[in-house]
Amino acid sequence: MKGHNFKVLLWKELLDLSRDYKTLATSLLLPLIFFPLLGFLSLALVTQQPVNIAIVDMDREELHSELLNLTFSSRDLVNKLINGLKGYGFNVYEASNSSVVYNSSIDLVIIIPKGFTFNLLSLNSTAHVEIYRRANVQASARAEAIARAIINGYSNAVSKEKVEAIIKITGLNASSTAILYPISTKLQLVTFGGREVGMEEELKGLFARVLVLALSVVITPATSFIIDGIIGERERKTIEMILSLPLPVSLIIYSKLVAATMLGLLTAIADALGFVAYIVLTTMALGGNISLPIDPILLLLHSVVAFFTILVTISIALPFITRTRGIRSASNIASGIAIIGTIVFFTGFIVDYSRLPTTIKSILYIIPYTHSILSIQYYVVGYTFQALMHLLVLVILSIVLLVFSTKILNTEKMLLAPPT
């Protein structure tokens, strides 16, 4: 009988939620629209933002080395810079002198000084290129990085030609690659167990961090819904009718908590999807390429963790919310709890809780959100047992706090606002 009554109450709460278009729009549609829109705007604005680059060739020399039988020209580097930078959509101009640095419309100036080609052919000196970048212009930093990459590529090509010429002159049985790069490194990603993995494992870790950060946004919609479900109904005088039903108060509270938790869970999913879309679009805007591997078990784990994270949050806030005078006071309490959750989950985004010293983790275990973070982080690094243990702790904490909160509820205080 209780099960049937609970289903009826839960259906009533879900029906109320489905009619609350404002809550649904802000909780579900806003993350799905806001984050992709932000990424799309970043992509669109970056491509539309003009970056003006001036190249000054003060050398204008083409020299030939009889010894090396090589010919180099400063024009070679100028052409590579022009073609390479224009390929990224930058506006590239050639200037006659260095005074262009004082032109505020130019974001990046590349100067090839006098004597560049001579030093490029020399075996005793180094050729230099001067780069002037406009401070506090974000786009110019990206242009500088690309220009440096082009110059370094040209430098490596020249080095290889010079070494091969020396090898030919001396008659040595040698490789230009072995001389230029006597040491090479190889990176292999491995799990904590030593198993070799690919780059997708790194991206999986990034995705997990996004999911941890997404937990910070599930708290507010859920607490707002439960505030409206108790304080709002009290102010609208509808909670009296609900409490007059021949049903335990605990069932009424449970139905409200489950409905609020489901709202928070949907919000977490929407926020995670929106944030992933933002990362992909932002990476495209910066000229990169990203592919996030989707682990269905990780997504399922995140959903379960989000559900019980919301449940434990509401269970902590419930005794305080029911004792407040109005929605404003209840919202202040909920905001305080949400701030704590946001701080913890933000640190979980940038810090590996699973790698913290045991003494520090033991202190953090007092905070229920720590188990939410560790459950996801341990799973990502392959420690499935530890992930399940922290999930179990979170589940137990949620149930214990939920039962405790409903036991200490005072029906009279739910009906009437406390005196000032």
**Spatial contact of 64 and 117, defined as CB atoms under 8 Å apart:** no
Beta bridge partners of 55: 94, 110
CATH number of the domain within which 68 lies: 3.40.1710
Q: Do strands 52-57 and 108-112 pair parallel, antiparallel, or not at all (unpaired)? A: parallel
**Spatial contact of 250 and 241, defined as CB atoms under 8 Å apart:** no
Domain end, chosen from 156, 185, 214, is at 185
Q: Are residues 204 and 159 in the same domain?
A: no
Q: Quick check: is 396 in a domain? A: yes
Q: Are residues 271 and 287 in the same domain?
A: yes
Q: Are residues 162 and 255 in the same domain?
A: no
User: What is the average per-residue pLDDT within 55-66?
Assistant: 93
Q: Are residues 146 and 273 in the same domain?
A: no
Q: How far is it, in rounded angstroms, from Cα 21 to Cα 3?
A: 29
With 90 as the cut, is the pLDDT of residue 386 above it?
yes
pLDDT digits (tens, 9 = 90+) for 69-99: 999 999 999 999 999 999 888 999 999 898 9
Q: Quick check: is 2 in a domain? A: no
pTM: 0.68
- pLDDT given at position 160: 94
Q: Are residues 209 and 102 in the same domain?
A: no
> CA angle, 92 as apex, 118 and 139 as ends, to 5°?
110
Q: Quick check: is 11 in a domain? A: no
Q: Are residues 237 and 96 in the same domain?
A: no
Q: Higher model confidence: residue 389 or residue 236?
A: 389
How many Cβ atoms from other residues are within 10 Å of residue 411's Cβ? Answer: 12
Residue 233: pLDDT band with limits 50, 70, 90: low
Q: Quick check: is 9 in a domain? A: no
- pLDDT given at position 95: 93
How many Cβ atoms from other residues are within 10 Å of residue 169's Cβ? Answer: 11
Domain end, chosen from 185, 215, 231, is at 185
- pLDDT given at position 4: 63
Q: How far is it, in rounded angstroms, from Cα 261 to Cα 256?
A: 9
Q: Higher model confidence: residue 300 or residue 324?
A: 300
Q: Quick check: is 325 in a domain? A: yes
Q: Are residues 112 and 33 in the same domain?
A: no
- pLDDT given at position 164: 92
What is the residue type of 208? A
Q: Which of 87-91, 124-128, 151-155, 211-215 is predicted least confidently?
A: 211-215
- Helices of type H across 94-228: 116-121, 138-170, 176-180, 199-214, 219-227
- Strand runs (DSSP E) across 208-322, as ranges? none
Helix (H, G, I), strand (E, B) or coil at 133: strand
Tokens of 242: 């609900």
- pLDDT given at position 121: 92
Q: How far is it, in rounded angstroms, from Cα 413 to Cα 193?
A: 55
Residue 126: pLDDT band with limits 50, 70, 90: very high
Q: Quick check: is 27 in a domain? A: yes
Q: How far is it, in rounded angstroms, from Cα 415 to Cα 94?
A: 78
Question: What φ, ψ does residue 4 adopt, rounded to 5°?
Answer: -65, -45
With 60 as the cut, is the pLDDT of residue 206 above it?
yes
pLDDT digits (tens, 9 = 90+) for 348-378: 888 889 888 989 988 999 999 999 999 999 9
Domain end, chosen from 136, 170, 185, is at 185
Q: What is the DSSP string of 346-373?
A: HHHHHS-GGGS-HHHHHHHTTSHHHHHH
Tell me how many domains the chain contains: 2
Q: Are residues 369 and 246 in the same domain?
A: yes
What is the residue type of 305? V
Helix (H, G, I), strand (E, B) or coil at 169: helix
Q: Higher model confidence: residue 420 or residue 119?
A: 119
Q: Are residues 162 and 209 in the same domain?
A: no
Helix (H, G, I), strand (E, B) or coil at 385: helix
Residue 42: pLDDT band with limits 50, 70, 90: low
Q: Are residues 112 and 64 in the same domain?
A: yes
Q: Quick check: is 14 in a domain? A: no
Q: Are residues 125 and 32 in the same domain?
A: no
CA of 6: how far to CAs of 13, 192, 254, 259, 265, in Å? 11, 45, 8, 12, 20
With 90 as the cut, is the pLDDT of residue 132 above it?
yes
Residue 14: pLDDT band with limits 50, 70, 90: confident
Q: Quick check: is 214 in a domain? A: yes
Q: Are residues 271 and 316 in the same domain?
A: yes
Q: How far is it, in rounded angstroms, from Cα 243 to Cα 415?
A: 8
Range of the domain at 56: 51-185
CA of 392: how far to CAs of 332, 355, 358, 372, 386, in Å? 30, 20, 19, 10, 10
- pLDDT given at position 180: 87
Residue 117: pLDDT band with limits 50, 70, 90: very high
